[in-house]
Each structure stands twice: as structure tokens, then as C-alpha cells.
Amino acid sequence: MSEENKDLGDKAEDAFDDAKEKANEFAEDTKEAAGDFADEAKKTANEFADGAKEAMNNVSGDNKKILAGVLAIIFGSLGVHKFILGYQKEGIILLVATIIGYATMCFVIGSFVVMATAIVGLIEGIIYLTKSDEEFYNTYQAGKKPWF
């Protein structure tokens, strides 16, 4: 009987080692895929920012205020309003945080991340729309204040 137990123990150890090796391989593959996804997201965000910058060169300060405010309320979690105002770094931060939030939505934390980025967009949209045209221009376009 003890001979059989040793064989079963050896088989169990081999199965454990195989499972451990496969888990490590899966972890490496997942890390690589996440890195590729993040690189692609950054590239897409930069392309979007460049396109938005070109489109906004002809927009006056008042139109940027209304456009940025409305987009912040509707698509605030994606950071579109930041790209409109020329804040690429802040726009990428919001966009990547939202993508990570959606990617981790199956965990509880992902829901909070998405909700937080949406609240930031909503608050900024309300702030943009309640400022006077001159105050908005001086604060966000001439003064380059990136957050709130």
C-alpha cells in the first residue's frame, strides 16, 4: 500500500509542477498581451489627439468652452475634453484609466475606476460650462490649468 501511496504522491507532485509551469506561461502571455494592448491604446490616443488638435485649430475660445463642456459631461471618462483643450497627457491618463477599469470590471475595483473617471468628467464639464468665456479662456487655454 505504501508503494501505491508513493506513486500517487509522485503523480500529484508532477501534476502540481505541470500546473505551476502552465500558470507561469499563462502569466507571461498575459503580461505580453497587456503590454501590447497598452501600447496600441497609447498609439490610438495620440492619433486621436493629433486629429482633434487639427480640427480644433479653427475653433474659437467660446466654441471650445461649449464643446469641451458638453463632451466632458457625455464622454468625460474617455478624456475627450482634455484632448479638445490640448491636454494630451491628461487625456491619455483618463483614457487608459477607463480602459483599465473596463478590463477589470469583473473585479469590483474596475467599477470604481470607471465611475471615478466619469465623475471627473462630469465635474469638469459643469465647471467649464459655468465659467464665463473670459475666465474659461484665461484658465484653461491661456493659463493651461489641466485639472478642475
Average pLDDT over residues 29-34: 80
Q: For the chain, what are the domain ranges?
A: 2-142
End-to-end Cα separation, the chain, in angstroms = 73
How far apart are the C-alpha atoms of 12 and 34, rounded to whole Å? 32
Q: Which residues contact 70 (CB under 8 A, 6 or more apart)?
A: 125, 129
H/E stretch holding 57 reads: none
When the pLDDT of each residue in the chain is averaged and rounded to a whole number, the result is: 82
Which three three-digit cell numbers place residue 104?
A: 477589470
- Side chain identity, residue 119: I
pLDDT digits (tens, 9 = 90+) for 82-119: 998 888 999 999 999 999 999 998 888 888 999 999 99
